[in-house]
Amino acid sequence: MERDDILCTCMDITKGEVEDAIKGKKLTTVEQVQEETDAGTGCGSCIEDIEDLLKEINNT
């Protein structure tokens, strides 16, 4: 997935936007990402992708 790809189609949020929010605000949970970006607050099908991104960025 590229930075410009839509990660959350419900809220029209790109992978890059989520990535920047996680890095910039040091987010560690899906709930925090939802609050900061709105990603994952619709159908919920992208939550797994958010979790993967959190793991990747935070090395957990």
Binding site for ligand FES (CB under 6 A): 8-11, 39-46
Tokens representing residue 6 in the block: 């839509």
Measured CA to CA, the distance from residue 54 to residue 18 in angstroms comes to 9
> Least distance in Å: CB of 49 to ligand FES?
8
> Least distance in Å: CB of 58 to ligand FES?
20
- DSSP conformational letter for 14: E
- In the bound state with ligand FES, the residue whose beta carbon lies nearer, of 23 and 43, is 43
Measured CA to CA, the distance from residue 49 to residue 55 in angstroms comes to 10
- In the bound state with ligand FES, the residue whose beta carbon lies nearer, of 43 and 58, is 43
